[in-house]
Structure formats: structure tokens, C-alpha cells
Amino acid sequence: MKRDLLTVQDLSSKEITFLLKRAIELKSGKDINKCPLIGKSIGLLFEKASTRTRVSFEVGIYQLGGKSLYMNPKEIQIGRGETIHDTAKVLSRYLNAVVIRTYSHNILTEFASHASIPVINGLSDLHHPCQALADLMTVLERKHRLAGIRFAYIGDGNNVANSLIEAASITGINLVIACPKGYEPDPHVFEKATAGAKSDITIVRDPKEAVYKADVVYTDVWVSMGQEKDAAKKKQRFKKYQINSKLLSDAKKDVIVLHCMPAHRGEEITDEVIDGPKSLVFDQAENRLHTQKALLEFLLT
């Protein structure tokens, strides 16, 4: 039976542990000549611009012996009104899996319901599970554990925050999210994830409270793609949520700083921090490649 990855909660605790272990093995060079995707073709259907997601998937598919096919909706018939139902049915006859990067999460769920091949969420307005897997790997590499880690997320309660909530609830990370009122993570995601959480997941207003004694401090852009209309208002509301050296002084001395990128330097994070010794931002970006290779291997072999 085919498996999809639309949200982090599509994976069990044991499966996340397995994927992270496998990603670390792949990063180390183990099975470097193994090509489990040889003869397989993976579609990349992207409505949104991308650097890390597109490049890491294309390179990962190639390294695993497969073939990637990039599809812009404007260049295929779905951009001219063909239904998601028909597109999913047809692509299922050609491809072995499809990665979709889109605006509405409903497009993903509808596509997956009609596709007979695995569907992977490369990003939607509600979830970013592939990013969360890379985040977990980065923390595990440096801290050697996930359960009990104090993890502070500072900023907009967006798709990244939603996926981090799910990841924390499954792995035992104690997550504190600091955001202004009105910019909280999706309430349905929060309620569902925290109902069975193995850890404490809370929302606060004061970033200093969230960062206090934190092992990990994470941020994302204040204005996500598609939300540019409210950019000026959001930037004003988020001014005190910048990750800078002063804020980090309240965290643990060995704190690590994460950012899913692209970064708007000087807004949500300063140059001094993102380029500083506590930053693992570029390790985190690299780990997209390794976790996605592990995921593709898991779903397709």
C-alpha cells in the first residue's frame, strides 16, 4: 500500500527515529554506491519558487539512481484548468512518486486522495514536514538526543511552526513558541498534536521567556511567500522578535541557532548570529538532502 508524507504526523515515532538514523548514515557516505531508485522517476510539481527544496530533491534523486522531472503548473495542463483528479490519475501512470510544493494544503490532500503513487509535501501553507525532518536531524547531530531538549521557536506561527509542533509532540522535544497575538500556529494543528504529546508545547508572547535556558533557538521569515500584502504591518509587529546576540544571551551557552532559510538578514535574524559560531543554519540546509534521500528510500523501496 502506498504511503504519503503530507504532515509529520504521517510518521510514527519509530519511523522518525529510523529515518534520522538512516539520514545520518547516508550523510556519512554509507551505501554511497547503492542506487535504490534506479529505473524510477520522481515528479516535482512546484507552484512556489524554491532553492533548497528543489535542488536537494533533484540531487538526492540523482544520487539514489533515479530521475527527477520538474513540472511548473504553467507548463502542464493543470495550469489551463485540468482537474487535480485527472492530473493525479495521469501522473500516477508515468511516475513512481511526486513531490508537490504548493500554496493550499487542500491541493496536496486532494491530489494524494486520487494518486496511486506516494505524494510528498515539499511545502504548503499549512505544513513543511521535509524541513522538520532536517531540523530534527540537525539537533540530533549536535545534541545527541531529542527528548527533553528545550526548543524555542521565535516568530510567525506559520507552516514551519506547525510542523515543528507535530515533530516535538512525537519526539519529546519541549517546544516554546513566542509570537505576537494573532500570529499563533494553526489552532487545529496545535490541538491535535498536543493532545497526545510526549512533551510540553506552549505558546508565549515574550521571546525572552521562550529563549531562557534554551538548547535550540529557531526562527523563520516574518513574511512568507504569498503574504506580501501585509508585509509592512507584520514587520512592525515582529520587531522585538529578532534573533540577535542580546536575546541569545538568555539561552544556554551551548545553544544552537537554526533558520530554515531563505533568511531576511537584519529582520528576523542578524548577520552576527546567522554567521556566528552558534549557527548551524547551513548544516541544517544540507540536511534537507540527507533526510529526503532517507525518506525517498523509505517510501519507494
**Three cell numbers written together for 121:** 509535501
Report the range of poorest mean pLDDT among 43-47, 223-227, 234-238: 223-227
Cα–Cα dist 95/116, whole Å? 10
Residue 120 and residue 189 share a domain: no
User: Which amino acid is residue 234, in one-letter code?
Assistant: K
Question: Is 90 exceeded by the pLDDT of residue 228?
Answer: no
Residue 87 and residue 107 share a domain: yes
Residue 234 and residue 116 share a domain: no
Residue 106 and residue 151 share a domain: no
What contacts 62, CB < 8 A, 6 or more positions away?
Answer: 68
Residue 196 is predicted with a pLDDT of 78
Within 10 angstroms of residue 67's Cβ, the number of other Cβ atoms is 16
Domain total of the chain:
2
Has residue 295 been placed in a domain? yes
Has residue 74 been placed in a domain? yes
Has residue 294 been placed in a domain? yes
Residue 50 is predicted with a pLDDT of 96
Residue 196 and residue 71 share a domain: no
CATH number at residue 183: 3.40.50.1370
Q: What is the CA radius of gyration of the chain?
A: 19
Q: Give mean pLDDT, residues 146-172.
A: 98
CA angle 211, 217, 220 (to 5 degrees): 120
Sheet containing 67-71, strands listed edge to edge, beginning at the edge strand earlier in sequence: 67-71, 41-46, 97-101, 119-123
Closest listed residue to residue 215, CA positions, set 126, 138, 152: 152
Q: What rounded mean pLDDT belongs to the chain?
A: 96
Residue 152 and residue 121 share a domain: no
For residue range 68-89, list pLDDT tens digits in order: 999 999 999 998 999 999 999 9
Residue 249 and residue 262 share a domain: yes
Has residue 119 been placed in a domain? yes
Question: Is 80 exceeded by the pLDDT of residue 20?
Answer: yes
Has residue 39 been placed in a domain? yes
**Three cell numbers written together for 61:** 534523486
Residue 31 is predicted with a pLDDT of 87
For residue range 237-274, list pLDDT tens digits in order: 999 999 999 999 999 999 999 999 999 999 999 999 99
Residue 139 and residue 113 share a domain: no
Question: Is 80 exceeded by the pLDDT of residue 229?
Answer: no
Has residue 173 been placed in a domain? yes
Torsions phi, psi for 27 (to 5 deg): -65, -35
Residue 25 is predicted with a pLDDT of 97
Q: Which residues are catalytic?
A: 101, 128, 131, 220, 260, 288
Q: Give mean pLDDT, residues 124-145.
A: 98
pTM over 0.85: yes
Question: Is 90 exceeded by the pLDDT of residue 197?
Answer: no
Give the domain extent around 105. 8-128+288-300
Residue 97 and residue 19 share a domain: yes
Q: Is the distance from CB of 221 to CB of 156 less than 8 angstroms?
A: yes
Has residue 194 been placed in a domain? yes
Residue 149 and residue 160 share a domain: yes
Q: Give mean pLDDT, residues 7-22.
A: 98
Q: Give mean pLDDT, residues 130-146.
A: 98
Q: Give mean pLDDT, residues 170-174.
A: 97
Residue 152 and residue 117 share a domain: no
Report the range of poorest mean pLDDT among 23-32, 55-64, 250-259: 23-32
Give the model's confidence band at 32: pLDDT under 50 very low, under 70 low, under 90 confident, else very high.
confident
Residue 198 is predicted with a pLDDT of 81
Q: Give mean pLDDT, residues 163-191.
A: 97
Q: DSSP assignment of 109-162, as one string?
A: HHHHHH-SS-EEEEE-SS--HHHHHHHHHHHHHHHS--TT-EEEEES--SHHHH
Has residue 56 been placed in a domain? yes
Residue 253 and residue 149 share a domain: yes
